Structure 1
Amino acid sequence: MGLICCHRTAMKMTMRYKLHQFLVQVNRRIVVKNQKLGWNSLLKRRLTNFTQVNYANKIGFRTRKGKVQRLSNGTIRKRFLFCSKQGFRLKKQADKITKYKRKETRTGCNAMIQFSVENGKWVVSQFSQEHNHDLEDRRHITRSCTKTSEAHLIHTGNNAEMAMDAGAPKCTELCNMVWSTHPEEVQILLNYLRRLQVEDLSLFYAVQLDSDNRLKNLFWRDGRSMVDYDYFGDVLILDTTFRMDKYDMICAPFWGLNHHRQYVMFGCAFLLDESKESFVWLFETFLEAMGRKQPKTIVTDENQVMVDAVKVVLLDAEHLFGVWFIRQKALKHLSAFYSQPDFVNIFNECVSYCQNEEEFESKWDFLLKKFNLCENAWLNNLYLSRERWANVFHKKTFSAGIRWCNDNVNVFQNSTSDTMDLSMFVHQYLKVVETQRSAELNEDMRCRETTKVLSSSAMEKQAANIYTRTIFKIFQEELITCLSVAIEEIASDGTNATFKLTEEGQKESIVEFSCLDSNLACSCRKYESEGILCVHALKVLNARNVFRIPDQYMLKRWTKCAKDSVPEDEHVQKLAGQKQQPMSLLLKKALDVIYKTSAFEDCQKIAMHYLDEASKKVEAALKTKKHRSF
């Protein structure tokens, strides 16, 4: 008992100092962000949470928000936090006749903290620490962790970096409080998802609970996303850069590119932290929601914890760091150098345009020396993971051309994250998904129109008939450019030939060609990474009198018929021995038809007619089956 009292006394003695340090950081942040000193909702939540986590929980009491004092213009200048046992219940409430009489819990306790503004800064102006009641066992208030980081309470940017700098544990007391301080919003969210599931029977959502059975992480996807993932899930992007300030949480959408190179959403998650445990749970849950089908490539933010989680779950996937993530962090860590055009150009060359590893090493070394960055910790750490972000190291990895996208998809671009509740984030996500699907449908319709060709080339006409409009334009540019490429055959044995090709103002490329089956291998690796033949390969085909695109180079995901049927790839073959596999494939095929008819009433009637016919034939077949006991 004596040790507990000593501990509580020490906590009381250090609390004012901790509050002072916390407010110093708050005031500094206000100055840096050029914010007004008003008591905004975000500051209120963080001061309240800080006091509850760092002091009240450890001493053994609960807090209650008290009155405020305002200036004549309405600006709040004082705020009070009381012990939950402060004051007494109003007499008229105590005398009111009710069916159930609540126990009186207030004792008139005078413990309180007053925050106010003095000389333009927030300070603790009054701090009364004496309670007139027994203090509780802190385990009854919230689950205790070994450390708590003040950084979590004042930072709205990259929580992972702040937590790492402060030495915070994977699961902090603040994290435990996020869900417990918003229980009604969590319930509203789950009710909302259940209502969506009534409308969409294939909607999937899963939650992860902490050791106190509180919601920790959540993932959801609708039924259409499962079908889209079957078509376009070869490249999967996970964005964990968006923060929900109100909850200090991560909102992490999964997305990819469809056959028009438009964004397509595969699902979304709310994560309480960026721990390996959370990411492993997320990837396992995602695979479960998608029938255990793994992507060929996953693209994420630069994050070693993410790397470790991918290695545990996504064993078949290549793991890359998104170029836009790298550039965002470079702008953050090297902002002073971005005003120098040479720096941006050289850095971008290292990321995207080096032809071989020797050129990359040379340019990287030049970058560090020219701008005196040899000791820069972020760049040195980035260099260690160069195989995941520098294009020259992963040319053979299929990425659907994602590195050429100008930016990461921003699902919540126009959202105010400090005012939206959890169900509003889900609603906003679904609105974006609906907009994207409408854009895809419009482009599908336009692809049914005749595509303009610029020549009488049989290969160009073939591409116009097969590729979507977006992909055809890319192919058409390559085909036109090949007219200005010089070609030289440098080796041949009658079966295989090697060519050297030179574009005007560009470096040389080497193409190997098989005369037996028209197989090609170009040193630029455009087909391997993007699925579209490069200018060098097209030049060689023309030189060898091959005037049609070989079948093996018509990647279905880029064609107008990309969604003609649910793909049965090697993943399906792996699951062929499992009893649930035929049912899963049947469900996906049925959903595919249903979603395709959703926008057209006449198509719905066709689908309904054939479903009725199928039902009758199945019933007739069942009548011929002998009774079996199970």
Structure 2
Amino acid sequence: MSFGSEKEITEYYKNYAERVGFGVKKISSKKGDEGKMYFTLACSRARKYVSRPKNMLEPNPITQTQCKARLNACISLDGTTKIKSVFFEHNHDLSPGKARYFRSNKNIGAQMKRRLELNDQAGINVSRNFRSFVVEADGYENLTFGEKDCRNYIDKVRRLRLGTGDAEAIQNYFVRMQKQNSQFYYVMDVDDESRLQNVFWADARCRVAYEYFGEVITFDTTYLTNKYDMPFAPFVGVNHHGQSMLLGCALLSNEDTETFTWLFKTWLECMHGSSPNAIITDQDRAMKNAIEIVFPKARHRWCLWHLMKKIPEKFGSHSDYESIKTLLHDIVYDSFTKSDFMTRWENMIECYKLQDNEWLKGLFVERHRWVPAYVRDTFWAGMSTTQRSESMNSFFDGYVSSKTTLKQFVEQYDNALKDKIEKENIADFRSFNTVISCISHFGFEFQFQKAFTNAKFQEFQLEIASMMYCHACFNRLEGLDSIFYVTESKKVYDTMKDIVLMVFFNEKDFVLKCTCCLFEFKGILCRHILCVLKLIGKTDFVPSNYILARWRKDIKRRYTLIKCGFDNLAGKTELQRVGKACDAFYEFASTRINSDDDLVKVMKLIQNMKIELPCNETSPRIVEEDCSTQNQATILDPKLARSKGRPPSKRKTSIVDQIVKKKLAQKKTKKRNQSSKNIQVQEEGQCTSRGQEIEDEVFYISQLGDRIGTQESIQVNKAYTKYFSVNISM
């Protein structure tokens, strides 16, 4: 029997093996004296296996049984291939129903590969990809590959796409992005061994966006994103919708003053030397030192949420813990002036004898960095915590994990950023296309409705709605300023509490100021000022200086014209061609193939087209264009800093979180111990009896497998002569 090529006869024998129920592998190939090529295709269980386990008590599973079933063939000088001999008999059971698990019978089609690659680029994990294949194929048994095969293929594609080394891969990635847009900025910091230490980058879009929203930023390093435990350090601002936006980011190997100083200087250079007016960080001394060095004029604030979160840790064992916690909360959040805060703080210290508490001493010395009464006179764009950075971090949760390599991270970072920008574009469209109705007849509400984005207008409407809880009255006149007292009824826990604030109004210059400082802090007029305007009958409009440009929807911002991401990948044109063809055929097959006769006609047309069009052996694949240069220094991967064991979580846990986690674990352990009291375990002779149980289980499973294989082999024996009912040339 003759075949056109080695590939053709191999496929023929594989098809036979799949029907019969065994795997195939090529075990030998040699060239004869006459120039002919001889090779052997054999059962995958051929030859003898020599087990060399590292642990003698854990031997490796054996598949080889020295099976003699095989096919010997010869390739002639003209390229034709002939079967020389075939041995049918196997020395093991066959199982057609399980033939799809053999490596030789596994195959991922071109369309499946394309979907895997595109979904991997989009950050969709392999498990979800494979489950979609199972649903589409109507069951696992209809697939010619498994989830592990998909993982192996994606790993191979990633190596082809991004290279082998992490540091070298991201270097080439950054070079490629800078080639596409010269305004892309990156710096890679290496040690004396040319090993990557820190890396910073910012795309052209966020560099321009900084011109509009860079006066206030948050900075946070508590997010672990990769297998090297290098914290992700994003610079985050707020756009005109109040959404978090990335203004540059870094991966750091250390969190000391030197590293932060390098990063802040690099970021400042990236932003053309324009320093932010205000920065929010957590209570980190190294950050504080670096900010004083690089941004000496910037207002530095500590994250209030992180500080208040430490109260259970610092006072949990105190006999008056609940009272101290409630009082400290009231002092921090309800003190609107510095003098008020000082008085109430001193009373608390005296009342509970906390003069020797070192934590409170340190906080009091640095009160200008975290107490709202000391910082609310500065514009913070509504941010009081680093939760902006944390929300940006959580945005990356669907794309990266603690096992993510650096080369995967920079790729998924691009996808995550595109998603973030799309959300901003949607918010822009809604502010442009929809109008939120006014809830009052005040003229200034209509004024803000036309100017503000929908999100910010809704925040302003909340202040209007809250006017019902406020009562304003004139108190006195000091020079040109009229002073009003505004009493606000505020719900604290389950009780109502009255808070008195002062509003100053200069009618000549139409200057308004409230002791709550909401406008100075957030850029939105507070309910107290609005209540005073209602009292004096000034509700038609407010001066334009109270409508901040950063919240307006009618401003064309230059950064929105800059495309995010640089995905000009080699092979993209080919992928687009294949995609268009697949879409067209899917639409055709869904609407035109209505019977078996239609299917036969279409398959004949496809066969004819295969003859007419030349075959491309390699399917199009997403690969990076080579942007490396000869003079580009080789950078080594970062050092692995993680200890043995399970990879850490993406978020660094505080002591409070650790305590809570420990308590929950203890509770579960106690519950398990209680439920196991009725279980009686026979200690004597346990080891030997358990060993016998394992042997019995293994024997039972092997016998069960033999019985299944034997039942299926009844039909297999009939297939031998049926498939090879041909004259074999010897």
TM-score of the aligned structures, taking structure 2 as reference length = 0.50
Check the 8 A contact 2:232/2:250 in 1, yes or no: yes
Q: Using the TM superposition, name which of 393-402 and 321-330 deviates more.
A: 321-330
Deviation of residue 545 (structure 1)?
2.9
Please, which of 510, 518, 524 is the counterpart of residue 526 of structure 1?
Answer: 518
Q: Is residue 435 of structure 2 the alignment partner of residue 469 of structure 1?
A: no
Please, which of 389, 394, 397 is the counterpart of residue 413 of structure 1?
Answer: 397
AA matched with 1:550: P
SS in 2 for 1:288: helix
Q: Using the TM superposition, name which of 497-506 and 182-191 deviates more.
A: 182-191
Check the 8 A contact 1:250/1:272 in 2, yes or no: yes
Please show how residues 179-578 of structure 1 align to structure 2 within 5 Å: 184-244=165-225, 246-330=227-311, 342=323, 344-361=325-342, 364=345, 375-403=356-384, 408-409=390-391, 410-411=393-394, 412-414=396-398, 417-448=401-432, 449-492=434-477, 495-504=480-489, 505-546=497-538, 547-561=540-554, 563-565=555-557
Hey, what's the Cα distance between the residues in 1 that align with 2:417 and 2:564?
A: 15
Hey, what's the Cα distance between the residues in 2 that align with 1:277 and 1:376?
A: 31
The higher relative CO (CA closer than 8 Å, separation ≥ 6) is in 2
Q: Provide the aligned length of Structure 1 versus Structure 2.
A: 400
Check the 8 A contact 2:311/2:325 in 1, yes or no: no
Deviation of residue 366 (structure 1)?
6.5
AA matched with 2:546: Y
SS in 2 for 1:352: helix
CA gap 1:463/1:227 in 2 versus in 1, 3 angstroms: same
SS in 2 for 1:266: strand
Deviation of residue 543 (structure 1)?
3.0
CA gap 1:536/1:272 in 2 versus in 1, 3 angstroms: same
Deviation of residue 462 (structure 1)?
1.0
AA matched with 1:533: L
Q: Deviation string for 1:567-593 (max 9, x for gaps)? A: xxxxxxxxxxxxxxxxxxxxxx5x553
Deviation of residue 301 (structure 1)?
1.3
SS in 2 for 1:306: helix
Deviation of residue 441 (structure 1)?
1.0
AA matched with 1:509: L
Check the 8 A contact 2:220/2:386 in 1, yes or no: no
Check the 8 A contact 2:219/2:386 in 1, yes or no: no
Q: Deviation string for 1:110-135 (max 9, x for gaps)? A: xxxxxxxxxxxxxxxxxxxxxxxxxx
SS in 1 for 2:397: coil
Aligned twin of 2:699: none
AA matched with 2:292: K
Aligned twin of 2:148: none
Aligned twin of 1:135: none
Hey, what's the Cα distance between the residues in 1 that align with 2:203 and 2:167?
A: 19
CA gap 1:330/1:456 in 2 versus in 1, 3 angstroms: same
Check the 8 A contact 2:305/2:385 in 1, yes or no: no
Hey, what's the Cα distance between the residues in 2 that align with 1:593 and 1:323?
A: 36
Aligned twin of 1:160: none
Structure index of larger Rg: 2
Give % identity: 30
Check the 8 A contact 1:219/1:269 in 2, yes or no: yes
Hey, what's the Cα distance between the residues in 2 that align with 1:415 and 1:551?
A: 42
Deviation of residue 233 (structure 1)?
1.2
Check the 8 A contact 1:331/1:338 in 2, yes or no: no
Deviation of residue 386 (structure 1)?
2.0
Check the 8 A contact 2:435/2:454 in 1, yes or no: no
